[in-house]
Structures are given as C-alpha cells and as structure tokens.
Amino acid sequence: MTKNYDVKDLNLAEQGRKRIDWAEKEMPVLRRLRERFEQERPLTGLRLSACLHVTAETANLARTLAAGGADVVLCASNPLSTQDDVAAALVAYDEIPVYAIKGEDNQTYYQHLGAALDHSPHITMDDGADLVTAVLKQRPELIENLIGSTEETTTGVIRLKAMAVDGVLKFPVIAVNDSDTKHLFDNRYGTGQSTLDGIIRATNVLLAGKTFVVGGYGWCARGIANRARGLGANVIVTEVDPVKALEAAMDGFRVMQMAEAAPLADFVCTATGDIKVLDAHHFDVMKNGAIIANSGHFNVEINIPALEAMSVEKRQPRPFVDQYVLKDGRQINLLGEGRLINLASAEGHPSAVMDMSFANQALASEYLRKHQGKLANGVHALPKEVDREIASLKLHAMGIEIDELTAEQAKYLSSWEEGT
C-alpha cells in the first residue's frame, strides 16, 4: 500500500468529525481519561495497532490513546461496520492512519489488517482476535516487540483462550470483554438497542404482534430479547445451556428448540458466538417472508452457504436485505449478509455504552504498559478496582450518588461473629 491510509473518500471528513464530536458528548468517562492522558502521557513511545469497528466511538478511543502519547493506526474488525466519514475524519483531522472501507471484500479486509501490522505494534487491540491470529499465523516476528494485546468481545476471548490452551499465545492479552463495566452494559444494553435499531432500519417492519425468535440467552441475546419484547413482539428464546434457558423461562419468555421455533418466526436473530444456529432444516420449515439476522461476532451463525444452495433466486429489495427465493417459492430475507446487524445497517452501540467499554480499553493499554514484562503469557482480566473506578465515574456523570458503607457496616460485612 503506497499511502499510509486507505479510506473511501477524504471529502467525507467534515461530516465524520461532526459525528465524532456528537458521540463524544455521550462519553464523559473517556473524556475524563483523555484529559488525564494528555497530562500524564502514559503511552508515550508506544506503537499501537487497533482492529476495531471504525465508528465514531472508536474514533474517540483512538483520540484518547493518541492523547496518551501512543502512535495509533486503525483497521476495521468487520468488512461491513466501517463508518466511512469517521475513517476520513481520523485521517484528515487527527492524522491517525486508518485502513477501512465499508463493504470491503475479504481480500482487502486482510490487506488492511496487514497494513496495521506493518506498524510493528507494541500493543494490539482486537475485536474478535483477527489481529492476534494474523500475528501468530503470518507475522510471528512481531511477537518480540509486543508488550501485549487487548480484546473487546466474547468471541475474541473464546479464541484467545483456545490459543492459550494450545500453547501458542506467546504474550499477555487483557480480556476487556470480561470487565463487568463492559459485558454487563455493552453486550446487554448496547447490543439490545442497536440490534433492534439495525433490524428496523434495514426493514422498517413493525415488530409489535410479531413472533421474534432470539438464538441464545447470553449477555447480548438477553438484551435483544428484552428490547424486542419492549417493542411488543412475542419473543421466543432458544438455548443450549440449561441454566440460561431456565433464566429465560423465568424472565417470562417462551423457550423451545430452534426446530420448533423456526416455523413460528416472523424474525430470527442469533447472538450466540456459535455456528449454524440457524441451518438448512430450519429454512425448510420457515414462513414465507421471514426475516433473519445475526448479532453475534462472525457471519457463521446463520448457514448462508446452505441458504444459497437451497435458493433459485436472490434479490435485493432494500439495502442490507438479501431476499432468497426457495425452490417452493417461499422467500427468506437475510439482513446485512449475516454480519453483526447493529453495525451493518445501524451505527453500532450508542456512545454512552461504548464510553465504558472504551474506558476499559484505554485503561487496559495503560495497564499493559505499567506491567510490561510482569504479566504471564495468556488471557488476563482487568483488576476489579478498574470496574469500580469506571462505574463510579459513569454514575458521577449521570448525576447519581450512592451510599457509602459506614465504618460499622464495613466491619459487620467482614465479620462472622454476629448471627441470629
């Protein structure tokens, strides 16, 4: 790549800057961190390659890391999630090299990853572990300089733990997703709202009175199920974990196998991190006109090759809607090519929730720097104090005050003598 960026159109930069500034207003915790980073410059001298969804919120993270002294480059963590105006603004106004174009093909996606790694990073930041995978498989010479990595999402953490088990993870990684102030809020409230937003923007179909099937009842799927119910849909949950299934049932959802739910569904949305949650035998029994989408990390939750093979025609009635016509004439509408629908057809999570996720990312980079050479190879969580600090800052920004333990209460809660 000859130039040190690859974005769709630099003329979009002004619009992108407005979008970034708009998001920043909802990100008070990250703003506080940025002010501290400007003073303390904790990341001075570090090259940092980030592979994240290139959104306005990520731009605010990139600015924060740069304010801390890091030399940042950014590539996309999904071919469909880039906001082209934001990518242009980061290049034009913040001089942060970005390699990301919405709709890029797989080959370009991996070229962009390679360009981010050409930066010879001291820290990599991932959303799905593609960058770390590329380091291990194609660029092992980079490991020598790596202080460590950070990982944003559940699927990435699962992949990293599998690398650790296989003994190939030769540096420490901070599982940002495992912070309470990340998955409890981002995965649940962020994915909940933005997934429904994506489905509605792509289709403009009324949800009230419809049957909406959610694949999974983990953090993301809980959010989706609850928001779909809030819009008046009849929600069915499918699960493989008996505890989660029980929780869904006691939360008031119908719970059944996907084979039973599929023929009832007006909508199916998966968010499991698993493969083929919706498969050929489900397409076989689905209603004409059913709408299917995914909000899990990879586009493997819906078996798209099987759907292609079963179809005689594929149309695009609206952007982000692929209408597959099956041999018997039924139509199944796949949204956003089965990729994270909240980022494909909407704008990803609202800024207020990414405020906490990205505060964790910024603090994770600082933590890696401070503990350079002291962390064992493998996957680590951030200390609980970081969660408490982020939650306190967020509450403060929301104007919420909470009680403090009195000395007597603190003593009581750490003692065992007093009983009935």
Q: Which residues bind ligand NAD (CB under 6 A)?
A: 153-155, 183, 187, 191, 215-221, 238-241, 244, 271-274, 277, 295-297, 340, 342
Question: Which of 160/220 has CB closer to ligand NAD?
Answer: 220
Smallest gap from Cβ 182 to ligand NAD, in A, equals: 9
CB of 239 to ligand NAD, least distance (A): 5
- Cβ proximity to ligand NAD: between 183 and 330 the closer is 183
> Which CB atom, from 71 or from 301, has the smaller least distance to ligand NAD?
301
Rounded least distance, CB 189 to ligand NAD, Å: 11
Q: Which is nearer to ligand NAD, 216 or 338 (CB)?
A: 216
Cβ–Cβ < 8 Å for 9, 92: no
- Least distance from C-beta 306 to ligand NAD, angstroms? 15
DSSP secondary structure letters along 251-280: TT-EE--HHHHGGG-SEEEE-SS-S-SB-H
Write the burial class of residue 384 (CB in 10 Å: 0-12 exposed, 13-18 middle, 19+ buried).
exposed
User: At closest approach, how far in Å is the CB of 41 from ligand NAD?
Assistant: 31
Residue nearest to ligand NAD (CB): 218
Evaluate whether 124 touches 51 at the Cβ level (below 8 Å).
Answer: yes
Q: Where does 176-241 have alpha helices with state H?
A: 180-182, 191-203, 219-230
Taking residue 143's Cβ as centre, other Cβ atoms within 10 Å add up to: 13
User: What residues contact residue 410 under an 8 Å CB cut-off, 6+ apart?
Assistant: none
For ligand NAD, which is the closer residue by CB, 13 or 265?
265
d(C-alpha 345, C-alpha 339), whole Å: 10
8 Å CB contact between 65 and 365: yes
CB nearer ligand NAD, residue 10 or residue 158: 158
Structure tokens at 104: 């890029």
Q: Report, in Å, the least distance between residue 154 CB and ligand NAD.
A: 4
Cβ distance 173 to 136 under 8 Å?
Answer: no
